[in-house]
Structure 1
Amino acid sequence: MVDKAAHILLVGVGGFLGSVARYLVALWMAPITAVFPFATLTVNLLGSFLIGFISELALSTSLISPSTRIFLVTGFCGGFTTFSSYMIEHSALLRDGEHLYAALYLFGSLIGGFIALYLGIISARWMAG
């Protein structure tokens, strides 16, 4: 039970830090997000990269312990990435008739997310040697 309690705490602290980081990115990018949700796209792409990078290092090396992986992937990245924000922003673009932006956001998030994920995996493999 101690491991579960510790993991819950790690997820909670990581989620808190990830959420704060997401909010700071949103504040930083606020001047350019009036028409297109660049901040959400940025955190989702960066989060995809980090999840790929951290997961690959955790699976293929001993550089990242299971507890650290839980803290970083489930906690931090879970709090940092924003699928629910993505969904509401995408629906707002559609509602407002911004079909081109909606399509760019959809494909940019999906394709960019996969690319970022695999870049994270490749980077981790390169780093691990």
Structure 2
Amino acid sequence: MTAPEAESVRARPRIPRRPAWRTQAPVVAVVALGGAVGATARYAVSLWWPTQAGGFPWATFWTNVVGCAVIGVFMVVITDVWAAHRLVRPFFGTGVLGGFTTFSTYAVDIQKLVDAGHPRTGLAYLAATLLAALTAVWLAVTVARRVLKWRQP
């Protein structure tokens, strides 16, 4: 590099960057807000449909299956159809649906069933939830894409 070229490189003004925390703060806030909404909805479902001691935890099962199906539809909509605002995905996908689905409670329910002497029910719950949740996502994505394709002119 020659001397005049070196001076022209130095003469460029530097564009100030926003600190990383300032760009991430809105994302963290909407995830927290969405998580509170989703967790509240999940809690309401558990109150509405309590699990009997040693029984199959249907409320948690269906919460996870329905949540996974909604995640499948949501991801198709925001990736194939709609250019969503940058905070929609963290709010609804990570926050609301992440707070609504509850795979930690799923694990605790399995442990409780095994500890209470119901290992078969725990194993059935483990396998059924995994199979149903993955099937729900796959089916929701497939149906959403077909519906969107069918509706296109």
| TM-score w.r.t. length of structure 2 | 0.76
Deviations 1:50-74 (A, max 9, x none): 1111112222222644421211110
Give, as a single letter, the amino acid of the residue that structure 1 aligns with 2:139: L
CA distance in 2, matches of 1:27, 1:63: 36
C-alpha deviations, 1:64-119, integer Å up to 9, x for none? Answer: 44421211110001111111111111011111221221121011110001011112
Corresponding residue for 1:83? 103
Q: 1:43 — aligned with what?
A: 63
Where relative contact order (Cα < 8 A, 6+ residues apart) is larger, the structure is 1
Identity %: 32
Count the aligned residue pairs. 127
Match status 1:99 vs 2:133: no
TM-fit CA distance, 1:21: 0.4
Are positions 1:18 and 2:33 aligned together?
A: no
Offset of residue 126 of structure 1: 2.9
Separation of aligned partners in 2, 1:102 and 1:79: 23
CA distance in 1, matches of 2:44, 2:145: 30
Q: Distance in 1 between matches of 2:118 and 2:71?
A: 30
When normalised by structure 1's length, the TM-score is 0.89
Unaligned runs of 5+ in 1: none
Matched, 1:4 2:58: no
Which residue number corresponds to residue 7 of structure 2?
Answer: none
1:54/1:64 contact within 8 Å kept: no
Q: Which structure is higher in helix share?
A: 1
Indicate the SS of the match to 2:82. coil
